[in-house]
Amino acid sequence: MSDPRPAALPRAHGKPVLAARLRSTPEDFFVEELAGFEPTGSGEHLLLTVEKRGMNTAWTAQRIAQWAGVEVAAIGYAGLKDRHAVTRQRFSVHLPRRNAPAVESLEYRGEGGEALRVLAHDWHAKKLPRGALAGNRFVLVLRGVTGERGVLDARLQAIAARGVPNYFGEQRFGRGGDNLHAALSMFAGRRVGREQRTHLLSAARSALFNRVLAARVATHCWDTPLDGEVWMLDGSRSVFGPEPHSDELARRLALFDIHPSGPLWGRGELRSRGDAATIELKALSEPPGDALRAGLERAGLKQERRALRLRPGGFEWSWQASDVLQLRFDLPPGTYATTVLAELGDLRDASFDPV
């Protein structure tokens, strides 16, 4: 069987223009959730906005559950945040009797520099579900940057103007593509738990999408229309088309109001037609594409679409020193800062360095 691990994905903007270190300290990778709603001010769920350092979301949820004296199932959060970072995000705690301990007692400082503090709290009517956020704001610092300043600035300007391919990040697939190996084993009959099953189905689906997007990047049509294109409205999951190309579609594409889309595989008929369908089916058929597609169909997932193009909001950069570059941008839910960084060049994640 062919190796299912995702191959190096082609860059849309050309060869690497820098090398640098990322996450030299947790402060170099700052992420803040953008709230998708305001608290109701009443209800049985305590909504906490916390800032944490060196702590992942699952570990934080366990600590909040211990603090509140509840099961971890009573804790809600909108998205997963990395351990090697400083992050701000919301958690909800189901407390029917509204008998929350003092919020100040939740603060924590560990011997390894881990830290947790509450920035705001209020009552809300519902448990915080996954995906209940407007997006994420990133402030990233790259250190030890090498590369010609003028060339780097030109690449940054190109990213701000055109966006980047909307690849799923490598964290979706596990180290070395382990989640894809596990997904193929699951499709072959290996039993897994419900939560792991969800992760493996997502990894398989994401890998197939990345194959399609990589094929379109390689042929320079990731942000331009093909015959038979299915369009996705910016900021939503709504799609329309195919329909004949027109000046109006070209205008909306240039304004980032719509984006070309690719398939998230499942049951049902592929919506694209013509040249778009041809390039999609070819990419999806490369081994082990057939096995992944069949497994997703048996699992009952339905055909969906995802935008091929991602434009970071408020994209800004500044040089903090001759070899220190700071980036600021916002991304919608379900997209990855690593896909933005990949268009710059080769980054070494310093959080993996030996201590």
> 3: pLDDT confidence band, cut at 50, 70 and 90?
very low
In a domain, residue 253? The reply is: yes
> 7: pLDDT confidence band, cut at 50, 70 and 90?
low
Q: String of b and e for 9-37 (b: at least 16 CB within 10 Å)?
A: bbbbbeeebbebbbbbbbebbbbbbebee
pTM for this entry: 0.92
Q: Catalytic site residue 223?
A: no
Residues 63 and 80 in one domain: yes
In a domain, residue 97? The reply is: yes
> 97: pLDDT confidence band, cut at 50, 70 and 90?
confident
Looking at 228-232, 305-309, 347-351, which range is the least confident one? 347-351
Catalytic residue among 82, 122, 153, 234: 82
Question: Given this model, what pLDDT does residue 353 score?
Answer: 67
Q: What is the CATH number of the domain that holds 127?
A: 3.30.2350.20
Averaged pLDDT, 201-228: 97
> 4: pLDDT confidence band, cut at 50, 70 and 90?
very low
Residues 278 and 330 in one domain: no
Q: What is the mean pLDDT of the chain?
A: 94
Residues 326 and 297 in one domain: no
Residues 197 and 84 in one domain: no
Averaged pLDDT, 142-154: 96
Averaged pLDDT, 174-179: 78
Query: Please, which residues have CB within 8 angstroms of residue 340's CB and are 6 or more apart in sequence?
Result: 159, 164, 310, 312, 327, 329, 331
Residues 210 and 300 in one domain: yes
> 171: pLDDT confidence band, cut at 50, 70 and 90?
confident
Question: Given this model, what pLDDT does residue 99 score?
Answer: 85
**Cis peptide, bond prior to residue 288, ω within 30 of zero:** yes
Residues 322 and 230 in one domain: no
Residue 24: C-alpha distances to residues 133, 204, 350 (Å):
28, 31, 5
Residues 297 and 170 in one domain: yes
Question: Given this model, what pLDDT does residue 5 score?
Answer: 42
Total tally of structural domains belonging to the chain: 3
Range of the domain at 280: 165-310
Residues 123 and 230 in one domain: no
> 1: pLDDT confidence band, cut at 50, 70 and 90?
very low
Query: Could you tell me which residue, 172 or 175, shows the higher pLDDT?
Result: 172
In angstroms, the CA 242 to CA 227 distance is: 8
Residues 148 and 89 in one domain: no
Averaged pLDDT, 220-228: 97
Query: Please, which residues have CB within 8 angstroms of residue 351's CB and are 6 or more apart in sequence?
Result: 23, 84
In a domain, residue 210? The reply is: yes
Query: Could you tell me which residue, 324 or 3, shows the higher pLDDT?
Result: 324
Residues 241-279 have pLDDT tens digits of 999 999 999 999 999 999 999 999 999 999 999 999 999
In a domain, residue 6? The reply is: no
Question: Given this model, what pLDDT does residue 170 score?
Answer: 86
Please check the confidence at residue 98 and state whether its pLDDT lies above 90: no
